[in-house]
Structure 1
């Protein structure tokens, strides 16, 4: 084990550290984090409709649902201001963080990214309308379809945002700007400096949009969705992908590297759109939509069934230590870590026991979450538990997180707690092993 750890420290850690600090990946990660308020408010609308529309409807409390119709309608408006425009929120955030990382005007970077993306949205829409009692196909200009601003367009927003903002950044760095006298106020000077790079970036996007509209006769988002996003999302829904990502998070953490941060571009870039797509589908179709949600596994699924108590499901380790440990040092750390572990904060146990680079706990640390997510994945595909449909605060206690994230599924709550119990069983042999090493460092 020591030889393996030494080899990993020499060859694996430097590469992992570079990935974790890569400026473009960091910008993607920070951009997703920044739009969490939008994601959360949309999820609140989903959860409120669960408790004020769907569960009462299932219980045949029709009078209650009718009285709450005003709140249900408000939740629909909240959806319009959150999930319906989440791609626009992301691209503003992405342009800002990317430009800020390169130390150029971040506000201009955000606006360039947004404007460059808008040019790729179709300007006309066709729909069926009833005119003088006759249904006709009507085409109108100046309409923006939410299919191009919601979660389905996140991947396109990422690509367009990156390319357009980088054009702006490189021109700014090359000083292809309008230089004003020093006597001009800084705000005015910054705005003028960004004019030429912004014009070039937006015109470049507009030319590409024109060529696609003229020759491909298909919007960029549709092209990317058909040939890139759909295949990637399909791969992400396989059990192998789910298990592998769960394992890699643990592997990075074992060496003291924040696994979620390193893998955020993948986990957030692919699985977060799946969460919002499920939420949008549920808000649109209600309880009936549960039967045919677009995605089985989403970003919140990892937290609901593979991160209870924090990475490694360490709440199970804490319980095992309380029951089976004879080491006073381990018990002391567990007592300090337990209150925070209930809210998925596990740094005290991860670095206090420690688990990082600890050969005794390496095996359960690496295998407990993958086993748990594999079980939850199978139960989800079999229809035993609902897929996750809402992003909820990550600090919610085990069980409660799964219950709310799945829209009030009691079976999901039971499964989440059962997986915590399983983690206790899997950690126990290694806690006992640590007892036998009482006079040694573990």
Structure 2
């Protein structure tokens, strides 16, 4: 029983390793770049090739006779250059990943992209205008684009690493781009020359049109078995494998369509007209209706699987967004937007789902549950209607429904696998963002996270957008509360409200990351006021249970205090939540607090005048601690958790004792954070500290659990060490 999970985990590990290879990451990013073109081109396809002649006439009547001209031009400017745009995106992404791995800008991505584009036109683009157009197009040109981008990009980056091929002129020019170009000039020239030699070698071997020759060779094996089920399985498998590598499968196997499938369709149609016997099962219309529901790969089933089992908002939104074009069998947005091309996670279902659907339709015909396809349909005919239209029977629609269900079941486990791997990778990137957000080197930067390169930067940008939505959504932003204990009396005298964000896909996002991203994105004020409002609301809900001296502590961002109207906003919240000012304590963080500003001090003084308490958090870890004590109106000092680990004769011991003595002299309340064990507690108590906060007493708790903890402590036997 333990072998299956072990094998499954091993399979996941292999898929994860492949998926994280820089090559596949660059492929996904490169294929995402032409998405605006693909979506525009998909619309043009639906208008240019409607599902019926009557629909085409109606569109011409509504939009005028120039509709086809408009669509053709739109297709030329979108799908017509899709391969070139994908090549550009791949080369740029591969170079950025290369530089990221080395830790510095080794090669300028723009220069690398120009070299790869030159290699593409040198090797792939033909002399005639028609061949050139095909080489640039999304369908027929993608194979050449990926081949050249892979070979040319990797070769150029490899040559750039050879010291003797680098010209050290980067610092001799005032323009950094000029320096970048001269530095890799020999490597770029050599790469382009090698591709020119490869073109000459291919021409000498008789391969003047590489893509066309490959298409003919691929089509040859299928023409002999057109009546066998092995033909249907083999043809669709070959088509899907080609699509998996970014090659338009039906176009690459056009010889099969021209010499086998279209003649079979014509023969069946003629038999229907003449009342004869239909001879062929596998026709062009059969594959259009039963193998490519939603487009190649049976991707309508993938969309249904995403809607059924996706646990992420992104997955469901993507499925809904792609649903309309998929109903008309246009799946390029999904192929390149998810993406499916060269995606190791979806490789198996992408090939298997349409094969299963073919076998279901074939079996239905063999056992006479459905007529053979005897009518011609446009490839954009909507799913479910196409099953009826191609067979002339509603049984065709029922078979399509059964095939859709089967295809969905094929995709479901791989959707779950993809989300598991994405979630795991997301947690790793979040951990990296947490390290960056907490690093003192990044604390003074204008933007700690949003300007980061690589996956961390992209994650931060996505989180900034999600945070904006979360602030507006009920339940994502919430609070937990950590009790503050007076060890001398055993009473809980307060609780600190702590920010929590439950991201719908990534789960809990660490508070330092949330704060850093909110600061970067300019959402600090809004988020801070929401936290303050939630904390005041909760304290007011406890008014009948807890004593009047129980204080709710809330952290402030330094930026909030620089708002001239901040004190008014706090007072508005207190009035709205019907909270006494003396029940609220505002904590300002000493380690990140801006030097006392006139506006900040004015805000704090105005709030203290009405009874709001002010605490200085993380005291003792900065260079300006005493300066803050002199300048700021304070009620409480909180010693940083890094000083809580004291030992006899240590520096921490002397600092804590000095702060305790100073607090008593200034009549300030002193709280020590981060107390985690009994030894720390005894040492700190011996130094004159009585008030504590930390895991030794309690972890942060949900509101109901915190209330239970406080009532048990305040009316129970108390704490003992």
TM-score by length of 2: 0.37
Larger radius of gyration: 2
Q: Note the C-alpha offset of 1:69.
A: 1.7
Q: Note the C-alpha offset of 1:303.
A: 5.0
| Aligned residues of 1:120 and 1:220 also touching (Cα < 8 A) | no
CA change 1:7–1:387 in 2 (3 A) is farther
| Aligned residues of 1:305 and 1:372 also touching (Cα < 8 A) | no
The answer to whether 1:117 aligns with 2:105 is no
Higher relative contact order by CA 8 Å / sep ≥ 6: 1 or 2?
1
Q: Note the C-alpha offset of 1:292.
A: 5.1
Q: Note the C-alpha offset of 1:245.
A: 12
CA change 1:238–1:27 in 2 (3 A) is farther
Higher helix content, 1 or 2: 1
Cα-to-partner distance string for 1:315-352 (whole Å, 9 max, x where unaligned): 3x79xxxxxxxxxxxxxx99x9998697389xxxxxxx
How far apart are the structure 2 equivalents of 1:182 and 1:37? 38
Cα-to-partner distance string for 1:155-201 (whole Å, 9 max, x where unaligned): 12222221111121011122422221525232221122232211111
How far apart are the structure 2 equivalents of 1:94 and 1:71? 34
Secondary structure of 2:297's match?
Answer: helix
- Counterpart of 1:145 in structure 2 is 132
CA change 1:158–1:371 in 2 (3 A) is closer
The answer to whether 1:71 aligns with 2:67 is yes
Secondary structure of 1:216's match?
Answer: coil
Secondary structure of 1:26's match?
Answer: helix
| Aligned residues of 2:169 and 2:179 also touching (Cα < 8 A) | yes
- Counterpart of 1:31 in structure 2 is 30
Which ranges of structure 1 fall in alignment gaps of 5 or more residues? Answer: 126-141, 247-264, 282-287, 319-332, 346-365, 391-398, 427-442
| Aligned residues of 1:152 and 1:277 also touching (Cα < 8 A) | no
Out of 248, 269, 274, the position equivalent to 2:245 is 269
How far apart are the structure 1 equivalents of 2:126 and 2:35? 29
- Counterpart of 2:145 in structure 1 is 157
Out of 158, 174, 197, the position equivalent to 2:187 is 197
How far apart are the structure 1 equivalents of 2:188 and 2:161? 13
How far apart are the structure 1 equivalents of 2:161 and 2:377? 46
Out of 169, 177, 180, the position equivalent to 2:169 is 180
Q: Note the C-alpha offset of 1:46.
A: 0.9
Q: Note the C-alpha offset of 1:73.
A: 0.8
| Aligned residues of 1:95 and 1:165 also touching (Cα < 8 A) | yes
Secondary structure of 2:198's match?
Answer: helix
The answer to whether 1:343 aligns with 2:334 is no
Higher strand content, 1 or 2: 2
Cα-to-partner distance string for 1:363-386 (whole Å, 9 max, x where unaligned): xxx99x967862367549964899
How far apart are the structure 1 equivalents of 2:245 and 2:57? 39
The answer to whether 1:95 aligns with 2:91 is yes
Secondary structure of 2:171's match?
Answer: coil
How far apart are the structure 2 equivalents of 1:232 and 1:18? 34
**Number of aligned residues:** 331
- Counterpart of 1:135 in structure 2 is none
CA change 1:61–1:171 in 2 (3 A) is closer
How far apart are the structure 2 equivalents of 1:183 and 1:124? 40
- Counterpart of 2:357 in structure 1 is 375
Q: Note the C-alpha offset of 1:109.
A: 2.1
How far apart are the structure 2 equivalents of 1:143 and 1:6? 53
CA change 1:41–1:124 in 2 (3 A) is same
CA change 1:14–1:422 in 2 (3 A) is closer
- Counterpart of 2:46 in structure 1 is 47
- Counterpart of 2:419 in structure 1 is none
More deviation, 73-82/377-386? 377-386
How far apart are the structure 2 equivalents of 1:269 and 1:7? 27
TM-score by length of 1: 0.57
| Aligned residues of 1:96 and 1:107 also touching (Cα < 8 A) | yes
- Counterpart of 1:83 in structure 2 is 79
How far apart are the structure 1 equivalents of 2:120 and 2:300? 36
Which ranges of structure 2 fall in alignment gaps of 5 or more residues? Answer: 100-106, 224-229, 258-264, 267-282, 323-347, 366-371, 411-721
Out of 283, 301, 315, the position equivalent to 1:306 is 301
- Counterpart of 1:349 in structure 2 is none
| Aligned residues of 1:154 and 1:273 also touching (Cα < 8 A) | no
